[in-house]
Amino acid sequence: MGTGAGIARDGGTFAIPELVKKTWSRFMRLFAWLMAANFLMTGSLAHAEVFFLQFGKVEGDKRIVEVIADPASASTDPTRLADIGKLQAWSRTDAKKNSSPLQLRFKSNHIVGEVPLSFEGPNQPVAVGVVHQHRDGDGRAHNLFVKSVKGDPDALNQFPPFPEMALEIMPRFEEDGSISLQVLHHGTPVPGIEVTIRDPDSKNQGTQPEITLKTDSEGKTSWTNPHDGTFQAFARIEADGSEEAILTLIYPLEDSGTAVLLHKVAVAAKQNLMGPLVLFFFLGMISKLIKSDIKFPAEGYQLIVVYLLLAIGYEGGHDLRGEANLMHCLLPFATGFIANTLVAILAVIVLLKVLRLDTPNSCALGALYGSDSAGLFAVSMALVNSFQLPKDGFMAAMLAVMEIPGILVGILMFQILSRKSEKKPASAQLQMERAPNSETVPQPAVSIIRRGLSSMPRTIHSSSFDKVSGTSEHSIFSILLHELKSPGIYLLLGGILMGYLTVSSEYERTRPFFDMPFRGVMCIFLFENGMKAGEQLTSLGKGVWKLVLFGTLFPLAMGVLAIPLAKLIGMEAGSAILFAALVAAPSNIAAPAAMRMAIPQANPSIYFTTGLGISFPFLVVLGVPIFYLASQWVY
């Protein structure tokens, strides 16, 4: 009997025709091909080649998410796409909120969904879960639970499981760079289950294409991604049917830093510009530019200032009460005081040497920039709170501490520079003494800017200032004592003290009065400030471009430099923005009042216009968002 010619049966043999053998062989090959095709068409749950998720770019206020069929699963087959299209999807962008249904639509060979985002834009944490249910030819149920996450790892760690997903792989991103993967079945950890991790880019990266791990008693296993790229983790449970969970991770988890930061600063600028605080400021400014007959009662403005300063101090004092160790506040206080002292000195030097402003106006204007602004502090606080940035409890106290240096520097530098003027040539001195009790009044045709830019200081009445030195009769100590007793400093420090001393239970009772109306009262305050700025803008003349350059570039540079300084002394990211605002903003309450008394020969129109009409709106619209951008780079 030749080989393969027959089969033994009951002790005998019979021959199988060659045609039957060939037919049988072809039938078996066809059966194997059909089984393989069916395996691909239904999706290999063992290797999770049905589909996977990936996040696309941010378009406006939405994050694109794509459900992509693997090419090995015949993703271009319309029947297969229709089957994959029978999906249910959910998304989550906030750990404290429930997941929301996600609508999916077809696009080419993949399915697209749009996840709504808030102001955080590209860096907002996002988790998407998709459920695919189908049955094979035997009627066995196959449930596939696919998930992907993107965003800040710390925020993603706070996300709870999707209640809609029976089987889920929960990632936790550890500080050492590893990832803890926990398998949950109906919310219960699954111990001893295999978790397979695939690396599609293993050939290019020289890494293992697939590794298998096993969960411990808590249903957890640990893994570290060897490189940036796409990774898929799979876990499978077999019972009457099969359930498989797939977690897609695409590294880096966050979008590029530049794109995120540019988006954030654009959102912050828009939020500030279109926020009620800025809009009310410009409403007041426009009212004066169009010469509307609106008058703001002085008593009403004083009441508003009293409320705002007490509210800021009261909340800050309560936050300060929560500080475990008040000693660590001394370094920020000292740093803030020194920083604003240096800012005031630098401002006076720039105004004298670069802009060629005269001594009284240089010292008065420099004093404003060496102090701070409660208005800009409140605007910055609103942005910090809206982005939910951490901040220190002593920042309201910093507002009071950093108000004082500019006033002291302005007065001291004016006295020093005025004494130096005594050494001028005798001819110039005699010329000044010819009219000891007179005041030189410039011609009305000359603008306030050109008056300030004149090199010869105006003479003043001898009743207020010394004839020879031109310095005020008020000593530096009397001015300082006066400022400590001034309404602005007194109310702010008093509010801080009251907030610090008040017990928590009583603080909560009074908090609604100082918290809820605050933004509304700030709108009225800024409306009045806008009216005042509009009045000053109408008096500008030639040479205003110098003040515009100084009023925009100088405070912006000082604020940006303050960000790394804040990080160096251990401030939180939100506090760094507030610190930058305190360093950059010119005073609009205490310092102008002090300069009117200490340096009366300085022109109020110059320092009011520059501080309130130029710097304040610029810092509100662009400065504070740029400080936020700088803080994100530094932190």
Task: Count Cα neighbours of 90 within 13 Å in the Cβ-side half-sphere.
Answer: 15
Where are the domains positioned within the chain?
A: 43-253, 258-419+447-458+487-634
* Rounded mean pLDDT, 165-192: 91
* Rounded mean pLDDT, 115-132: 79
Handedness of CA 609, 613, 616, 622 (dihedral sign): negative
Buried/exposed code over 123-162 (b: 16+ C-beta within 10 A; e: otherwise): bbbbbbbbbbeeeeeeeeebbbbbbbbbbbbebbbebebb
Rounded CA separation 122/118 (Å)? 9
- pLDDT at 168 > cutoff 80: yes
**Residue in the structure block whose two tokens are 């169009």:** 290
Rounded CA separation 310/499 (Å)? 9
Residue ranges in 166-213 assigned as alpha helix (H):
202-205
Confidence class for position 532, pLDDT limits 50, 70, 90: confident
Confidence class for position 438, pLDDT limits 50, 70, 90: very low
Q: What pLDDT shows up at residue 194?
A: 93
Q: What pLDDT shows up at residue 213?
A: 93
Q: Choose the most confident range, by mean pLDDT, from 399-403, 456-460, 476-480, 587-591.
A: 399-403
Asked if 266 and 231 count as a contact pair (C-beta separation under 8 A), the reply is: no
Rounded CA separation 127/129 (Å)? 7
- pTM for the full model? 0.53
Q: Which of these CATH numbers, 1.10.540.10, 3.40.50.300, 1.20.1530.20, 3.40.47.10, describes 258-419+447-458+487-634? A: 1.20.1530.20
Give the SS3 label for residue 441. coil
pLDDT higher at 11 or 351: 351
- pLDDT at 436 > cutoff 60: no
- pLDDT at 185 > cutoff 90: yes
Name which of 71, 73, 68, 69 is nearest 43 in CA terms.
Answer: 73
Q: Name the amino acid, one letter, at 147.
A: K
Q: Name the amino acid, one letter, at 573.
A: A
Q: What pLDDT shows up at residue 122?
A: 65
Instruction: Specify the long-range contacts of residues 356-359, CB closer than 8 Å, at least 24 apart.
Output: 356/453, 356/455, 357/452, 357/453, 357/606, 358/452, 358/453, 358/454, 358/455, 358/456, 358/457, 359/414, 359/417, 359/418, 359/421, 359/457
Q: What pLDDT shows up at residue 124?
A: 80
Rounded to 5°, the CA angle 577-583-588 comes to 110
Name which of 267, 274, 558, 292 is nearest 405 in CA terms.
Answer: 558
From 218-232, 276-290, 379-393, the region with the lowest mean pLDDT: 379-393
Q: What pLDDT shows up at residue 575?
A: 92
Confidence class for position 439, pLDDT limits 50, 70, 90: very low
Asked if 491 and 309 count as a contact pair (C-beta separation under 8 A), the reply is: yes
- pLDDT at 232 > cutoff 80: yes
pLDDT in tens, 62-100: 888 887 765 444 344 444 555 555 788 999 988 888 999
Q: What pLDDT shows up at residue 158?
A: 92
pLDDT in tens, 490-506: 777 788 889 889 988 88
Buried/exposed code over 462-498 (b: 16+ C-beta within 10 A; e: otherwise): eeebeeeebbbeeeeeebeebbeebebbebbbbbbeb
Q: What pLDDT shows up at residue 633?
A: 83
- Residues 6+ away with beta carbon under 8 Å from 118: 61, 93, 124
Rounded CA separation 437/263 (Å)? 60
Q: How many residues does the chain have?
A: 635
Q: Choose the most confident range, by mean pLDDT, from 265-274, 279-288, 439-448, 453-462.
A: 279-288
Q: CA-CA-CA-CA torsion for 307, 310, 316, 317, nearest 10 degrees?
A: -150
* Rounded mean pLDDT, 231-238: 90
| DSSP percent split of the chain into helix, strand, coil, nearest 5 | 50, 20, 30
Q: What pLDDT shows up at residue 559?
A: 95
Please give the share of the chain, as a percent, with pLDDT higher than 70: 70
Q: What pLDDT shows up at residue 17?
A: 59
Please give the share of the chain, as a percent, with pLDDT higher than 90: 21
